Amino acid sequence: MRTVANPVEGTEVRVEPAESEGITINGVPVELDNAVPVFRIDLRDGDRRTFIAEHVLSVLGLSGITAAEVTGVRTEWDFARPEHRFAYSTGSDPSTVVGHPAGLHNPVLAEALRTAETIERGSEPRRSVSEPVEYGDGAIRIRPREYGSGLLINNHYEDGVKSFEVDPQARDDEATIKEIVTSTTPFLTRRQEGLTHWIGDLVSDIGVIGGFDDLVIDSYSAGHDDTIGVSRKARDEGVVVERSG
């Protein structure tokens, strides 16, 4: 596992060291069973819920942080944002919204993690699948990849494909991280930038929440329900494989 040696802060969040494997956000474990996919990713465990988790998890996955305690730091509502209005309606407080207000994958947090000292304890198995898994009537497909090769993410669209290679257990190169984390959500931006933003969503949903390290991911018309769906389908069908070096 790899965690930060000291707390770091980004927009809306604070990331603190963890003593054991795994990531929590506002006390909710980042696990498939806790993921609530809508047009964003929320995490829910009993009465606890946190909103827009993908903007934090993408950065942790791109930075190779596999263990952390994340908390929201916002203290005031921003009712211009629909997530804040929804969170308010549930009786939550502003700190439960951890998504970036400009629809980014938290570049401030990415920069803080780039220079942060980290601690590694032991090693973690790397997960892939033994056979291809498709979900959402062809919206998304995941395929096996060799041990240690990371995620090859192909975002298909009308004019071609946008591809990135990242590794959820290793720091990715600075240029790749910067391009992804400074891209705005497709809901708020032009087509090309939104395609890059979706790469970060795939890192969050399949790499971090799904727990996969070595895969080929082909995204066609996928949304968050498909990314979580294909991860759950792989688990439920028993095709997840764990490998150690």
CATH of domain 2-120: 3.30.230
- Spatial neighbors of 180 by CB under 8 A, at least 6 apart, are 58, 62, 105, 164, 196, 197, 199, 200, 203
Beta bridge partners of 241: 128
Give the pTM.
0.96
| CA gap 94, 185 in Å, rounded | 21
The whole-number pLDDT of residue 240 equals: 98
Closest Cα partner for 214 from 164, 154, 142? 142
Place of tokens 């995620």: 151
The whole-number pLDDT of residue 138 equals: 96
Domain ranges of the chain: 2-120, 126-243
The whole-number pLDDT of residue 184 equals: 92
The whole-number pLDDT of residue 7 equals: 98
Closest Cα partner for 220 from 177, 132, 161? 161
Q: Does domain 126-243 have CATH number 3.30.1700.10?
A: yes
The whole-number pLDDT of residue 62 equals: 97
Residue 114 phi/psi, 5° resolution?
Answer: -60, -35
The whole-number pLDDT of residue 117 equals: 97
Place of tokens 């991860």: 231
Q: Give the pLDDT of the chain (245 residues) as one tens digit per residue.
A: 999 999 999 999 999 999 999 999 999 999 999 999 999 999 999 999 999 999 999 999 999 999 999 999 999 999 999 999 999 999 999 999 999 999 999 999 999 999 999 999 988 899 999 999 999 999 999 999 999 999 999 999 888 899 999 999 999 999 999 999 999 988 777 677 889 999 999 999 999 999 999 999 999 999 999 999 999 999 999 999 999 97
DSSP state of 137: T
Closest Cα partner for 185 from 86, 39, 68, 36? 39
